[in-house]
Amino acid sequence: MAKVLIKKLDPAVELPAYKTEGASGMDLMALVKEPINLKPNSSCLVPTGLAVAFSSDFEIQIRPRSGLAAKNSISVLNTPGTIDSDYRGEIKVILFNHGKNDFLINNKDRIAQMILTPVIKMDLEETDDLPETIRGEGGFGSTGK
C-alpha cells in the first residue's frame, strides 16, 4: 500500500475511504456552501476541500462515478483528470452534464472517485525512422468496427 498524505482544507470535510475491500477508488465529495445547479451541456468546477502529497512514482486519477453517469448522465469532463505528485492545491473536479435535465450538486454529494496509479516516465529518443508494423499508419477505425 502506498502512503498518501491528505490535508483537510476545511474542518467540515470528510476524508475519502474505500467503501469495499475490492474497491480501487475512493469517492470524493463536494464541498459547497450553496448547491450548484449544473445545466445540461454545461460544466462546473466542484471543490472537495482536500489537498494531497504522494511519491513521484504515482499520480492520482479523478474518474467519474458509474452511478452518476448511468442514472444522471454526469461525468468528469477531463476523464481521467490527473493530480500530479507535485501539486499541492485543492483537488477540484470538473463535472459535465451530458443529460437533458438540470443536476443539483449538494454539499457532501459523492461526485467522483480518485485512484492512485503508478507512473512510468518516458525516455524519448529522436529518430528519423520507426520500425514497420502490419498496421502501419492506419488509425481511427482502420482495424475494423
Instruction: List the CATH number of the domain containing 52.
Output: 2.70.40.10
pLDDT value at position 134?
A: 85
pLDDT at 141: 75
Give the C-alpha separation, 95 to 102, whole Å.
Answer: 13
Per-residue confidence (pLDDT) for residue 63, from 0 to 100:
98
> What span, in angstroms and rounded, lies between the C-alpha atoms of 66 and 125?
39
Which residue range(s) make up the domain with 77? 25-118
Residue 133 lies in a domain: no
Residue 14 falls inside a structural domain: no
State the CB neighbour count (10 A cutoff) for residue 6. 14
C-alpha grid cell, residue 134: 502490419
Residue 61 lies in a domain: yes
Residue 101 lies in a domain: yes
User: Is cis: bond before 80, omega within 30 of 0?
Assistant: yes
CA atoms within 13 A on the CB side of 72: 19
Residue 87 within any structural domain of the chain: yes
Ranges under pLDDT 70 in the chain: none
pLDDT confidence of residue 53: 98
In a domain, 49, yes or no: yes
Give the 3-state secondary structure percentages of the chain, helix then strand then coil, rounded to 5: 5, 35, 60
Q: Please give the grid coordinates belonging to residue 109.
A: 454529494
Number of domains in the chain: 1
How confident is the model at residue 138, as a pLDDT? 79
Cβ pair 83, 67 in contact under 8 A: no
